[in-house]
A = this chain, B = another copy of it.
Amino acid sequence: MEHAADPSHPRYRSLLMRHRLEVAAKKGMLADSALIAHGRGEAYDYLLGETTIPSADAATRIALNALMQAEHPVLSVNGNVVALAGDEILRLANKIGCPLEVNIFYRTPERMEALLNDLNERKERLGLDVDILGAEPDATIPGLKGPRAKCESKGILRADTILVPLEDGDRCEALVAMGKTVIVIDLNPLSRSSQRGSMTIVDELSRCLENMLEMPLEGLPSVESYNHHQTLQNALDTIVDGMKNKF
């Protein structure tokens, strides 16, 4: 795969993300469907103009506030999240002061080990003090079957507010059904996760996390100010505006 090393290249960021996925795939961190899922995301990001739209920025601020105010916030990460923004998600956990839990759909011991190793290496390199959970699941998410239900009691199970970037629709729904505040990051405003989450940030993952890392914690908008349908419709309207009378 091509890799543009020059940040001024118009496709630099897109090629960088592909490069990160390629590296992760070689380390055994990804499921077969990971690249296809990423391609779907690329399509929606292209339609959004590959930029953080104002309604996503607003949702990001509110979501950060919700995570800061939570009693037991947790960041749930899967293969694509670690691959695309491993450093950024660790830094966010450090900023919020919460654990991060590896929670993957196609759970195998090999993939779990590859992901935990990668995260622990990043954590050491960054010199961060973050709890990385997922290695010792002792609980299950009600309503899910098989290995994909596994989680830790001190992580996802007891969380009141959980960030689930790039999450599968079934699991998103199961977490909502547990009564948690589920914050979704997803480029497709029509996906089941986007629709069923408590809050949805329609933005590219690494861009969203970089925004969260830069945001000062003072003066964030109240959690009550979040309007779910308006946030999603704004994303759709942005896409629609780019398609009207194009030809």
Tell whether A236 is near chain B: CB-to-CB under 8 Å: yes
* Shortest Cβ gap from A78 to chain B (Å): 16
Interface band, chain A: 35 or more
With the chains together, A33 CA to B35 CA distance in Å? 8
Given A39-B43, A42-B39, A43-B44 in contact, is the A190-B239 Cβ separation under 8 Å?
no
Tell whether A196 is near chain B: CB-to-CB under 8 Å: no
Write out the residue numbers on chain B whose beta carbons fall within 8 Å of the beta carbon of A188.
Answer: 43
Tell whether A40 is near chain B: CB-to-CB under 8 Å: yes
Query: A-side interface residues toward B, CB under 8 Å?
Result: 1, 18, 21-22, 31-33, 35-44, 46-47, 188, 190, 228-230, 232-233, 236-237, 239-240, 243-247
- Smallest CB-CB A-B distances: 9 pairs: A39-B39, A43-B43, A35-B35, A229-B247, A36-B39, A236-B243, A40-B43, A1-B32, A39-B40
